[in-house]
Amino acid sequence: MEKRIGVISVLVYEKNHVPKLNTILSDYSHLILGRMGLPMREKGIQIIALIVEGSTDELGALSGKIGRLEGIKVKSLLNQ
């Protein structure tokens, strides 16, 4: 299985789903090389950037689970 490196960006609009998000990130911590968070309180959102490495299936599962949370948007960019 070929591993790919990429970035997953997460926009959090509703804070009540953050515990579920953190549980998912903890479950997939073996794929996460780095994490940066930026709270934008004046706009009411939080931005999280994840640097990840894993198979396409693993990274798709991670972004898919995050994307199913209400009030959270996710986009991913993987290398070729």
- Give the chain's domain count: 1
Amino acid letter, residue 60: G
User: Which residue in 72, 38, 34, 79 sits closest to 55, CA to CA?
Assistant: 79
CATH number assigned to the domain comprising residue 54: 3.30.70.1150
For residue 32, the model assigns a pLDDT of 98
- What integer is the mean pLDDT of 23-37? 97
- Domain of residue 50 covers 4-78
Of residues 16 and 23, more confidence is placed in 23
DSSP character string of 30-57: GGEEEEEEEEEGGGTEEEEEEEEEE-HH
Tens of pLDDT, residues 40-76 = 999 999 999 999 999 999 999 999 999 999 999 999 9
Of residues 54 and 14, more confidence is placed in 54
